[in-house]
Chains A and B, each alone.
Chain A
Amino acid sequence: MNFYDTLFYFFAIITLVSAGIVVFSRNIIYSAFSLLFTFFGVAGIYVLLNADFIAVSQLLIYVGGILVLLLFGVMLTNKVVNVEMKTGTLQTFPASILVAVTAGALCAVFYVTDWKIVSSVADVPNTANILGEMFMTTYILPFEVISIVLLVALVGAALIARKETPIKN
């Protein structure tokens, strides 16, 4: 087992175990914090896949942005001091079966399929450079559109979340 493999299994275990805690934990604070480790593990997997820029973005955006946002959401909508942090579940049993079947089917498909392996990004030293060029050339339209989407989403979020004020007529 070489170093690469060891790292892979390390990150894979971190990701999956913490994801399991996210999903199965009854305490929402535990969930939110173990989500941090999931994001971290996924970032590590990105690094192993030669996607350094994505990995950094993952850490910055998910851990720095989305997770903090989620934590704020948790804090603002739950009674922290009480024991109310527990969250209810529903339909656990059918859901388990369904999800087990899904996971099994997906894994089986991934395992059975004879992938045509073309190692393409392996020898690229720095992906940020190439990505930057792609955003300004091939993907210029999606890039601009998604910028606008983000802007609109942020404005909309601010609009929705603020306190209701009586509408002036």
Chain B
Amino acid sequence: MASLPRRIIKETQRLLQEPVPGISAVPDENNARYFHVIVTGPEGSPFEGGLFKLELFLPEDYPMSAPKVRFITKIYHPNIDRLGRICLDILKDKWSPALQIRTVLLSIQALLSAPNPDDPLANDVAELWRVNEAEAIRNAKEWTRKYAMED
């Protein structure tokens, strides 16, 4: 395997040395491009109190292309589908090499705080979110309790 680009090393070091509050990203033992991420549900969101596991993979041409991120923990969110795929612009076309792992994770955290049902991935969830936000939020809380809380 080709050696790790300096940027990734730097990022990793920085992530470990100066972790973002509410976010932990640890590289896999075997694959330095694969990170085990845990994001806490932002305060004031239906996901508060939940610990959401994600996986993050830095593709070969990172930072020129976006990292691949996916929720592992089930989450009730209009922009995250049942498989954990995330609909987030910076992970797609709005990716910029100036972005980093931490910024991506922060964006994801922000996404939890501010679901965007107008750009849905999970249509049913988005529909409910649009039609009956309260119930959706209830659901989200429910799911959070169910799946994102260990105990």
The yes or no verdict on A and B being binding partners is no
Q: Which residues of A contact B (CB under 8 A)?
A: none
